Structure 1
Amino acid sequence: MRRISSLTRVAVGVASLALAATACGGTSSDDSSDTASESKGGKGLAIAYDVGGKGDQSFNDAAYAGLEKAKKEFGYQTADIEPTDGETDADKEQRLASLAKQGYNPVIGVGFAYGPALEAASKKYPKTTFGIVDSVVEGDNVASLVFAEQEASYLAGVAAAKATKTDTVGFVGGVDIPLIHKFEAGFEQGVKDTKPDVKVLSQYLTQTAEEGGFSSPDKGKAAAEGQLEKNADVIYQAAGLSGQGVIEAAAKKKAWAIGVDSDQYNQEALSAYKGYILTSALKDVGGAVFSLAESVEDGKPLSGVQTFDLKVDGVGLADSNPKMAEIPGLSDAVAKAKEGIIDGSIKVKTE
């Protein structure tokens, strides 16, 4: 198994894609045949979405951007499949196995929830390269695509500390799990390192993904409204589709929202609120998806843990909103913090 600690970032232009939500259980594919075998191959990349599905303007849509880039670059067939409500690991395994059986290669599970299913499916189809985003799965034919979310979140915290006028900021996490703890830890550290007296309000929407923490804008909106009532004027969300509710609530109160994963300032579905999206903590999920597809196309499929961090521009902070430059000291503080993280003088916590 080849184990690679980092990759050069592949830009995918997430902001340029206008994405529309699709119904749960839906499938988008250039070939609906389910009779092809793994040995047929030649169909290229397939992705299976996490909760929230395509149209979340965040995590899943970033993966879709990578798929679209690969489709355009290599001219092959692709497939992207939605999750279903209340599905089990067995349902996920069947989905991944079906894609491999049809000849798609690589097959990528978008989200840590695919861990057990992808481990099982990859053993059944050893000639297919599998990828998983945000989790580590062992296997000679598996690439684990993971990110230093805490580093991008630290930069978001620096920006929040510079932007707040009330000295109170908020964090809304979708689900109370270790992955989202990384976002919270980095954000709070960035805030405190920049302006120690700033108060950080934190809230998780649910304890499990099944309760809708990543897929319920109404929950995100309610949480943000509660923090706004407590005087928060900047709120960072790491909540998938639920984050749209956070952004809406902040905009209605003319407070700042900080997006996540994709550059949400440039997402068409959020255009009504873009004036209040200060920045976004970026994860180049699309670049990771494309990199794996490219490696298979080149006949040298990646495997093992692939870590995307600030050093390779695998994570970062968006600067699309020109208002960022109008906030005294913000841009310089973010640049200095980024340099410190890369050279090791700033050690960012993960919990």
Structure 2
Amino acid sequence: MNFKIISILILFLLLISFAVSAQYMEVALVSDVGGFKDSSYNQQLRNSLNKVAENLNLKTDYRESDLMTEYQDNLNYFAENNFDLIWGVGSTMEQAVKEAAQMYPETNFVLFDGIVEEENVMSLTFKRKEEAFLAGVVAALASDNAKVSFIGGQKTEKIGHYQLGFETGVKSVNSEIEIISRYVGSFNDFSAAKEISAELAAENVDLIFYAAGPSSRGIIETALENNIKLISLDAADIDLAPNNMVTAVLKNTDHLVKMLIENYSNDNYINEIKEFGLADNAFVLEQDQLSDMLSSEKRTKIEEYKQQFLAGEIEIPSAP
């Protein structure tokens, strides 16, 4: 009799243990070649997943990619180990995520800031105009000379959205501010970016917002030489020019990761191409740097203009 009771108790405990372990959600993140110490989105996403894991029954694992050729193997590794949700980062991973999704149709993938049209992929994209709108508001409040600039890499539709949003943000604060928008012609031409930004410095531009890829290093060097203020889209740039960078406009990874993980846990998750904007709380300003560079009164103004945009009182044009 005692043996039977003990056997039943053991079986009961095993069932409970299995049920608890089955509740674990397994989430993986594969970095792009920037790695997890890039002070950018690889690192931010890893930190955001770790924060979510502290509050949910979540198991996380990570694989760092040193080469683009490693993307596929890293994604496949997690799929073969039956992870529930596998994240990739950026447009350079689009092909690898697409192939992994086709090879493992029962596995769910998330691509951050890229697009893959597969039924088992959630593509997180962003409304660049609205992201740049915040930069424009900050620029107008931070400029002393009432003369600011946007510098893009190549003149593409996506980069053009940054220009439109920035110009709208600036003019919504002060329609008298002069805006000079320029393009490098390449995302990898340091010399051309340095030359263009030097020309802007000679024209008394005192703040530059840029979306120019690696060419941005030329802009930053000019800013250091000419005491020009900067607004970036990459938190890593703050360390390159801490006395010049007003802030960086960032994707709100803490909020987005938490929302998607919770939606998945609650069976409220849909694989789709989803574009996130200000109404989704998708963007944040790097607050530590902003607090050093802008007064509390002006920081309050930023939120006021954001709320005006959300209320429909400010509109960003669809084209130049």
Q: Which of the five TM-score ranges fits, normalised by the shorter chain?
A: 0.7 to 0.9
Counterpart Cα distance in 2 of 1:221 and 1:67:
37
Q: Does 1:60 align with 2:42?
A: yes
SS of 1:77 mapped into structure 2: strand
Counterpart Cα distance in 2 of 1:165 and 1:80:
45
Length-normalised TM-score, structure 2: 0.74
Counterpart Cα distance in 1 of 2:232 and 2:58:
32
How far apart are 1:324 and its partner, in Å?
4.8
Q: Does 1:80 align with 2:49?
A: no
SS of 1:139 mapped into structure 2: coil
Counterpart Cα distance in 1 of 2:31 and 2:218:
21
User: Contact between 1:52 and 1:240, CA under 8 Å: does it hold in 2?
Assistant: no
Alignment of 1:245-324 (within 5 A): 246-247=219-220, 249-260=222-233, 264=235, 270-271=238-239, 273-298=241-266, 300-320=268-288, 321-324=290-293
Q: Which amino acid aligns with 2:26?
A: G
Q: Does 1:235 align with 2:203?
A: no
User: Contact between 2:147 and 2:204, CA under 8 Å: does it hold in 1?
Assistant: yes
SS of 1:104 mapped into structure 2: coil
> What is the percent sequence identity of the aligned residues?
26
Evaluate the alpha carbon distance shift between residue 75 and residue 136 of structure 1 in structure 2; reply closer, same or farther with a 3 A threshold.
closer
Match of 1:343 in 2: 311
Alignment of 1:1-351 (within 5 A): 44-50=26-32, 52-73=34-55, 74=57, 76-82=59-65, 84=67, 87=68, 92-174=71-153, 176-193=155-172, 194-204=174-184, 206=186, 212=188, 224-239=197-212, 243=216, 246-247=219-220, 249-260=222-233, 264=235, 270-271=238-239, 273-298=241-266, 300-320=268-288, 321-326=290-295, 330-331=298-299, 333-349=301-317, 351=319
Evaluate the alpha carbon distance shift between residue 223 and residue 248 of structure 1 in structure 2; reply closer, same or farther with a 3 A threshold.
same
Q: Which amino acid aligns with 1:335?
A: E
How far apart are 1:252 and its partner, in Å?
4.2
Per-residue CA deviation, residues 258-283 of structure 1 (Å, 9 max, x unaligned), is 1225xx3xx6x844732322122221
Which structure has more RCO (C-alpha within 8 Å, separation ≥ 6)?
1
User: Contact between 1:48 and 1:110, CA under 8 Å: does it hold in 2?
Assistant: yes
Unaligned runs of 5+ in 1: 1-39
Counterpart Cα distance in 2 of 1:324 and 1:279:
8
The structure number with the bigger radius of gyration is: 2
Counterpart Cα distance in 2 of 1:337 and 1:286:
23
Evaluate the alpha carbon distance shift between residue 139 and residue 283 of structure 1 in structure 2; reply closer, same or farther with a 3 A threshold.
same
Per-residue CA deviation, residues 214-242 of structure 1 (Å, 9 max, x unaligned), is xx8x8866654454344321111234566
Higher share of residues assigned helix: 2
RMSD between aligned residues: 3.6
User: Contact between 2:50 and 2:60, CA under 8 Å: does it hold in 1?
Assistant: no
User: Contact between 2:125 and 2:274, CA under 8 Å: does it hold in 1?
Assistant: yes
SS of 1:345 mapped into structure 2: coil
